[in-house]
Amino acid sequence: MPRPLLRAGAVGVVLVAGCALRGPRVEVRPATVDELLGALTARRAALTSLRARAQVRTGLARLWTREAIVVQRPNDVRIDVLSPFGLALALGTDGSVLWAYPPAEGTRYEGPATPANLARFLGTPVAVGDLADILLGLPPPRVAVDPPRLELTRERRWRVTLPLESGLQSLWFAGDTHDLLATEEARRGVVVLRVAFGDYREGFPHLLEVAAPGTSSTATLAYEAVEPNARVDAALFAPPPAARVLPLDAAALEAR
């Protein structure tokens, strides 16, 4: 099972996918693979963009920062890191180029939008398309090569396992509400990605945790305000003008 999702800097603890705490016995509602996966497909079709404000915690220091986030499927992501004095750092990508712009420096850094480059700023290596879906509160879309399997876990959660060409994607759903609680992806027997979802309001998870097992890379995001299907100007994802443009490798910036 994925480890518990903890919300630091807020009142209380949200246990999303762990098994350490025992609460009231969950009344399990019957489910089928088609029903659970169909609900995700419907959500994916209904939600194509997002504008939000959030608190984000990444990197080794595990400090919380405030960020403004704009997402547009399939590959457009912009994240503005905010300070008490205004914009501290802007990050953006259209799926191919990743740019970083700290206004105080007047320099724009650019490089390919690879998982490794994204990890430098976001805390976890993840493909841009997958990041867009995760920020929209959904698991990365995968195509099963064989029929998915359904089981009820000891924790009374529904687990759907999708056989992939070179691994597995597992999805955990609440036994009673059928809300998506977590997803885990394994490639050739090695877990490469875990995402936990919690604090559902009006069908949307306001608390996310993304982790790359085997590394110290973890990012926790707590949405404060969410505007689904917001009108998004494509210019938001374009690199801003700057006096100098340098490769990302020259940037003395990293996830904090």
Total-model pTM: 0.85
Number of structural domains, the chain? 1
Residue-wise pLDDT for 42-83, tens only, equals: 999 999 999 999 999 876 456 789 999 999 999 999 999 999
Residue 20 lies in a domain: no
Taking alpha carbons only, the member of 213, 47, 42, 210 closest to residue 134 is: 210
3-class DSSP string for 150-211: EEECCCCEEEEEEEECCEEEEEEEECCCCCEEEEEEEECCEEEEEEEEEEEECCEEEEEEEE
Distances (CA, A) of 174 to 28, 29, 34, 181, 224: 8, 9, 16, 6, 23
Residue 41 lies in a domain: yes
Residue-wise pLDDT for 96-122, tens only, equals: 999 999 999 989 999 999 998 988 877
Residue 160 lies in a domain: yes
Question: Which CATH number fits the domain that encloses residue 122?
Answer: 2.50.20.10
Q: What is the mean pLDDT of residues 209-236?
A: 88
Residue 89 lies in a domain: yes
Q: Domain range spanning residue 69? A: 33-226
Residue 125 lies in a domain: yes
In this prediction, residue 18 carries a pLDDT of 42
Banded model confidence at residue 22, pLDDT cuts 50, 70, 90? low
Residue 142 lies in a domain: yes
Report how far residue 60's alpha carbon sits from residue 53's, in angstroms, rounded to the nearest whole number.
22
Please list the residues that pair with 184 across neighbouring strands: 170, 194
Q: What is the mean pLDDT of residues 78-94?
A: 93
Residue-wise pLDDT for 176-218, tens only, equals: 999 999 999 999 889 999 999 999 999 999 999 998 776 667 8
Residue 13 lies in a domain: no
Q: Are 239 and 108 in contact (CB under 8 A)?
A: yes
Residue 181 lies in a domain: yes
